Structure 1
Amino acid sequence: MRASLPSSTPKAGPATGRWRALLASPLWRWVGGGLMAAVALLIVWLLVRQGMRVDWPAVWQSLKDLPPATLALSALLAWASHLAYGCFDLFGRHAVRHGLSVPRTMAVTLIAYPFTLNLGSLIGGVSVRYRLYSRQGLSVGQIAQVVVISIVTNWVGYFLLACVVFWNWAPQLPEGWHLSGQQLRWLGVLLAAVSALYLLLCLWRGGRPLTVRGRSLPLPTWRMALAQLLLSSLNWSLMGAAVWALAQGRAPYAAALATVLLGAVAGLLSRIPAGLGVLEAVGTAVLSAYLPVSQALAVVLAFRALYYLAPLLPAALALLATELLWRRRAPAADTSQNGF
């Protein structure tokens, strides 16, 4: 009965109802979409204005001057990073205990990752994974849990490396980034604390799932969480090594790693697919402390070509091949079910 409720129980008043109605209204969606579009246009305008100052012939010449051995080494490191990321969904496989084999699980991740890089997490991280996993019998809930665990794996290592880099070395930031070296250090400490709390949570739960608002999220054991941290750190470190190889050692490894770390967050916040232009602006600002601007931009453009674009073609071909294979199997399955 209502009379038995404690007086401290929060009640939804008319104001709360009006706010909920406003947030659910088409007008709010239009306003929110308009604001996001305005932010994206502002970022694009800033990038175009900065691009007009670039000596593009010098950048092209710097790209052509990159030795084939340098490109090969960077490509090898980039593919090694993709392979490390391909193991991320194995943590979800272990926690969810779905029936797909290790090679099949890694294949799904390796196909989806280039789409995530180039088209955004919604298409690569969710849509491609959902299509590939659902056709192999996983439920929506299982897929969601695998994706969440993969995202957590990606960022726990990032947070740790950000702390190590920013505490020991202050990168040269792009114009308009009003952050001091001391602020970056404490930001790194805050990020590392998130990773530490995740490890403590896994230790406390002892492999038991975490329930939030009626939804259950599997948690790994603390040993598995530590493996997540190490593999994620390896992945980001390999990405930084690929940039460092393209810089041919003329920029310190910390600068190359900071290019990747800062570029990833800037691209995520800008909401521009693949961080197009954002990664280049951040990387040029960081690396130009050690290289001419044209060479710094050439390094980042070469990294984008090797890490983002080159794996997209084989991933698209693999996705197309799986679609054709499943379409061939579908009529055969229907025929067998109908007794023909």
Structure 2
Amino acid sequence: MINRLVTLFFFILVSVLLFLLVKNLDWQDVSHALLAYKGTTLALGGGVALASYAVYVGFDLLGRRYTGHQLPVRQVVPVTFVCYAFTLNLSAWVGGIALRFRLYSRLGLDLPTITRILTLSLITNWLGYMLLAGGVFSLRLIRLPPTWEIGTTTLQWIGFGLLAAACTYLLACRFCKRREWRWREQEIILPGPKIALAQAVLGVLNWSLMALLIFLLLPEKAFYPSILGVLLISAIAGVITHIPAGLGVLEAVFIALLQHQFSHGTLVAALISYRVIYFLIPLLLACAVYVVLEKQARTLRQGTEKDVARQKT
């Protein structure tokens, strides 16, 4: 009974969030933005988006190796894809945490294992962010407007700090003798150097591909390191505001930092197209995959219950 109520609540929650997301979009602008691009540009952008999602799937495959759980790759891949699409559109609380715990638990993983997978995924994402942002900010590859309270020099020092934090984690994974800690009944195990290096590569690659997609949708005069830097700044702004999918935040940051290079119309068209290719289309696919996963999990649970009943008789 409780499982059915949880399932019903989750479906209602997701449906409401999807409705609010769709309601806040101007579909006429979406249509105009997409029609303004060549088919080859959109196809190339789709390929970049697909590559980025494939890289993110590697986060949980790395978690599979880290935790040693026995779920087959064919089950891990769709779960990670669905969680990432929902995370981007409906916040990390829905996709990254709630949905991950729900889907993995229904496939038989226990709470500590799921927690470790989630933790490794979060660290992988932000490790890549710190390495990239640290490099872009410290090298002054992006210039902030004079009106911004944080100047270019301050941003450079933030970059140094991010690089130091990322390097500290990598060095700890390599040289730290104590590998295990306990916090609130949760066991924290420091990954080995090979897994840590894989985290750095996957995290950097995923953020780089996201920026590459926006870069492809802008005119040829766009400077890729600058686009990457603006995306990294907008990501933090989105986290601070807690707005699902960062609606309006991404656009505001890009317009504020790049309005001297591109017209508002050009930037808005590129960002709308970016949202359609990287957010909305994968979300539609993820909704369909999620329904299939729920059905498979229910079938698997019913089969397990029958096996237990046979053993008792």
Q: Structure 1 length normalisation: TM-score?
A: 0.77
SS of residue in 1 equivalent to 2:190 = coil
* Aligned counterpart, 2:89: 118
Pairwise CA distance, 1:255: 2.2
Larger RCO (alpha carbons 8 Å, 6+ apart): 2
* Aligned counterpart, 2:230: 259
Q: Which amino acid aligns with 1:129?
A: R
1:202 corresponds to 2:173: yes
Contact 2:141 2:229 (C-alpha < 8 Å) held by counterparts? no
2: distance between equivalents of 1:132 and 1:59? 32
Q: Which amino acid aligns with 2:258?
A: L
Contact 2:144 2:152 (C-alpha < 8 Å) held by counterparts? no
1: distance between equivalents of 2:187 and 2:300? 34
Greater Cα radius of gyration, structure 1 or 2: 1
Contact 2:30 2:272 (C-alpha < 8 Å) held by counterparts? no
2: distance between equivalents of 1:278 and 1:210? 37
Gaps of 5+ in 2: 1-23
1:191 corresponds to 2:162: yes
Deviation sequence 1:51-110 (CA, Å, 0-9, x none): xxxxx9999755532222111111211111111011001222222211112332232211
Pairwise CA distance, 1:211: 3.5
How many residue pairs were aligned? 286
Gaps of 5+ in 1: 1-47, 49-55
Residues 59 and 235 of structure 1: is their aligned pair in 2 closer, same or farther, counting only changes over 3 Å? closer
Identity over aligned pairs, percent: 37
* Aligned counterpart, 1:20: none
Contact 1:62 1:295 (C-alpha < 8 Å) held by counterparts? no
SS of residue in 2 equivalent to 1:310 = helix
Q: How do residues 1-340 of structure 1 correspond to structure 2 at under 5 angstroms? A: 63-173=34-144, 177-205=148-176, 208-212=179-183, 215-339=186-310
1: distance between equivalents of 2:143 and 2:193? 36
2: distance between equivalents of 1:123 and 1:58? 27
Of 265-274 and 98-107, more deviation after overlay is shown by: 98-107
2: distance between equivalents of 1:258 and 1:215? 35
Q: Which amino acid aligns with 1:266?
A: A
2: distance between equivalents of 1:336 and 1:57? 54
Pairwise CA distance, 1:176: 6.0
Deviation sequence 1:203-252 (CA, Å, 0-9, x none): 12368333446632122111221111111101111111101100142210
Contact 2:125 2:203 (C-alpha < 8 Å) held by counterparts? yes
* Aligned counterpart, 1:24: none
Q: Which amino acid aligns with 1:82?
A: Y
SS of residue in 2 equivalent to 1:338 = helix
Deviation sequence 1:4-46 (CA, Å, 0-9, x none): xxxxxxxxxxxxxxxxxxxxxxxxxxxxxxxxxxxxxxxxxxx
Aligned-pair Cα RMSD in Å: 2.5
Contact 2:234 2:250 (C-alpha < 8 Å) held by counterparts? yes
Pairwise CA distance, 1:285: 2.3
Residues 225 and 328 of structure 1: is their aligned pair in 2 closer, same or farther, counting only changes over 3 Å? closer
SS of residue in 2 equivalent to 1:217 = strand
1: distance between equivalents of 2:160 and 2:221? 28
Contact 1:173 1:286 (C-alpha < 8 Å) held by counterparts? yes
Deviation sequence 1:264-317 (CA, Å, 0-9, x none): 111000011111110111122233232111101111111111111110111111
Residues 175 and 294 of structure 1: is their aligned pair in 2 closer, same or farther, counting only changes over 3 Å? farther
Contact 2:33 2:273 (C-alpha < 8 Å) held by counterparts? no
2: distance between equivalents of 1:215 and 1:334? 29
SS of residue in 2 equivalent to 1:311 = helix
Contact 1:120 1:273 (C-alpha < 8 Å) held by counterparts? yes
